[in-house]
Amino acid sequence: MNGFKTFILLFSLSVLLLLVGQAIGGRSGMTIALILAGAMNLISYWFSDKIVLAMYGAKEVSETELPEVHRIVNNLCQISGQEKPKVYLMPSPSPNAFATGRDPKHSAVAVTAGIVKLLSKSELEGVISHELSHIKNRDILVATIAATIATAIFHLADMAKWAAIFGGRRDDDREGNPIVFIAMIIVAPIAAMLIQLAISRSREYLADETGARLCGNPMSLASALKKLAGGTERIPLDAQPATAHMFIINPFSGGGIFKLFSTHPPIEERIERLERMI
């Protein structure tokens, strides 16, 4: 169900790009924006893992340095039939973890010192199952596709804004509805961002479900999420907003309408879904 929801959201994002391109950028403007966005996100797709790991001071650790985590990763990879990713340790005392890499052959799982200290073995299995599921489900690729389309829409809206300021709209658009033109400039980027965030939340639900089946115990992950929610409140992670979507639990919090702008579903809803799997 979450996989189908992701498809619908990506399709909606693509339709939005076409509408925006027709309304404010024209075919040539849409093509330029898409090429620019694609180039930017392709670079990110290939090199973001190294950048993010370095950003958080993560160091690759051997089996002798972090034996418990390596044992869990080894066992789960044998069960799932996927290649074993590299294992990294972040020095932060804040409990969290993330997976990165452009494909299963070039992937890594990073855990903080805080999460290793806080969670039991079964809870750690739930967390690592979740991260391995992100790799197996190719969520980095999905996020890159969504980011490429959303970034193209942002570029188009920006181009249209400056064109409107300097009177540079295309001749065949001059008879168009100016209200629609202005609405596209304002509304389209917001809509693109909301769809992109909805895709991120959908992939979190999917990784929870896949991970719970992989470790064989949904309550292991549910229990871990409860502990992580409290742990990150007590010891916040010094994180960058641009990388928040990568972590198993959002380093930043927000309720009410701010849920729409969150990269993660509410912890309570994630736990409730896991409990229904028992």
Residue 131 catalytic?
A: yes
List the beta strands (DSSP E) in 7-162: 59-60, 86-90, 97-103, 106-112
Tokens representing 59 are 């160091």
- The residues pairing with 265 across neighbouring beta strands, listed in sequence order, are none
Alpha helices, DSSP H, located in 166-277: 178-215, 218-234, 267-276
- Interatomic CA distance for residues 255 and 262, integer angstroms: 9
DSSP type of residue 84: P
* Three-state SS at 210: helix
| Interaxial angle between packed helices 178-215 and 2-20, expressed in degrees from 0 to 180 and rounded to the nearest 10 | 160
User: 29: Cβ–Cβ under 8 A, 6 or more apart, which residues?
Assistant: 21, 156, 159, 160
Overall size of the chain counted in residues: 278
Q: How many beta carbons lie within 10 A of that of residue 27, not counting itself? A: 11
* Three-state SS at 98: strand
- Interatomic CA distance for residues 5 and 11, integer angstroms: 10
Catalytic residue, candidates 123, 125, 131, 209? 131
Q: What is the number of helices (H) and of strands (E) in the chain?
A: 9, 4
33 within 8 A of 25, measured Cβ to Cβ: yes
Q: How many beta carbons lie within 10 A of that of residue 99, not counting itself? A: 24
Would you please indicate which residues are annotated as catalytic (active-site) residues? 131
